[in-house]
Amino acid sequence: MLTQAQMLGLDDAHLVSVAGQRLEAQTATAWQALVADAAGAGFQLAVCSGWRGFERQLAIFNGKADGSRALNNRAGERCDVRVMSDADILDAILAWSALPGTSRHHWGTDLDWYDAGAISRDALQLEPWEYQPGGPCHSLAEWLEPRLSQYGFFRPFREPLGGVAPEPWHLSFAPVSVPALGEFDANQLAQQLEQSPLALKETVLAQLPGLVERYCYRISQP
């Protein structure tokens, strides 16, 4: 069972190294088995993003809020934070990037994958078209879909549910992540955000319970 500190991205004691990334230990074992299966079918299944800590997620969030990082809305259109309200900026950020402390990547159970035999890591943009027909990761995506559950994985952002936008590249290891979500403590999240240098803090804290419901619990089920 993950601790609250691990779920908030504040503790990495539960992680092991896998191909240059870090994952929760059980997740890593299952992932390596899936990678081997994919290799047997001629694919180079790779991780482009595994564990991310709270501080890293905070930097991503704040960068998008202040305009130093590119920000797209739910339609995938580039946004200009200089002409947006705080509420609209927050909605655009959370469509694609988690609020610090709520990212499933903090747990080490979740990862973003790509086909390293079809596209380089540098060229990868993690956009839906790359996993759709004609995209470089589509063939591997089709091969993976019926096999994910055999290894304990599922796609939590498979469909639009009003929270995180669909992410065909995002996988989660259900045996650890499902219990973790059930133990997530929103009060500890609030305390952590209160003491952090979070952009849009007043807007976030004023609606935090609703944000947690929308962006943590509205997921596609295993």
Instruction: Check which CATH number belongs to the domain holding 156 and give it.
Output: 3.30.1380.10
Is the pLDDT assigned to residue 73 strictly greater than 90?
no
In the chain, pLDDT over 90 holds for what percent of residues?
A: 93
Q: How many domains does the chain have?
A: 1
Query: In this structure, is residue 72 part of a structural domain?
Result: yes
Query: In this structure, is residue 148 part of a structural domain?
Result: yes
Query: In this structure, is residue 222 part of a structural domain?
Result: no
Query: In this structure, is residue 120 part of a structural domain?
Result: yes
Is the pLDDT assigned to residue 75 strictly greater than 90?
no
| Structure confidence at residue 90 (pLDDT) | 95
Identify each DSSP E strand in 53-204 by its residue range. Answer: 110-115, 153-154, 170-173
Phi, psi of 49 (to 5 degrees): -155, 120
* Enclosing domain of residue 179: 4-217
Lowest-confidence pick of 20-29, 160-169, 186-195: 160-169
Query: In this structure, is residue 66 part of a structural domain?
Result: yes
Query: In this structure, is residue 60 part of a structural domain?
Result: yes
Cα separations (Å) of 75 from 79, 96, 127, 141? 10, 11, 12, 22
Is the pLDDT assigned to residue 186 strictly greater than 90?
yes
| Structure confidence at residue 74 (pLDDT) | 83
- Residue where the block lists tokens 């589509």: 138
Looking at residue 156, the DSSP 8-state letter turns out to be T
What is the Cα–Cα distance from 173 to 156, expressed in whole angstroms?
A: 10
Average pLDDT over residues 27-55: 98
Query: In this structure, is residue 124 part of a structural domain?
Result: yes
pLDDT digits (tens, 9 = 90+) for 82-128: 999 999 999 999 988 999 999 999 999 999 999 999 999 999 999 99
| Structure confidence at residue 134 (pLDDT) | 98
Query: In this structure, is residue 81 part of a structural domain?
Result: yes
- Residue 174: band (very low, low, confident or very high) from pLDDT cuts 50, 70, 90: very high
**Residue 83 host element (H or E):** none
